[in-house]
Amino acid sequence: MENIKEELEKIRQKAALLKALSNPIRLCIVRELLHRGECNVSSMQHCLKLSQTTVSQHLGRLRDLGIIQGERKGIEVFYRLVNQEAADIVKILF
């Protein structure tokens, strides 16, 4: 019974990852972080042509799922991709 619970949890986690990457904005963010290495909200906002609030909400979702991490440098936070599965998925897609 424990194996079934573990497998279901794994499946739930993979589905959450795919769901996060199924959003075009989040997919674009992850792809850019994979390409650039790290980026701040202002750069992403300018690149995506979206409000800072919108970009921050998507970053928050990605951060909550452990796909990205932020590091404060002065007054700015720079984000980087930390989830290898997400990186592999984006590489396959593009």
* pTM > 0.85: yes
Number of domain units in the chain: 1
Is 26 exposed, middle or buried (CB count within 10 Å of its CB: 0-12, 13-18, 19+)?
Answer: buried
Q: Residue 18's domain spans which residues?
A: 2-93
CATH number of the domain within which 7 lies: 1.10.10.10
Task: List the pLDDT tens digit at each of the 94 positions of the chain.
Answer: 679 999 999 999 999 999 999 999 999 999 999 999 999 998 898 889 999 999 999 999 999 999 999 999 999 999 999 999 999 999 999 9
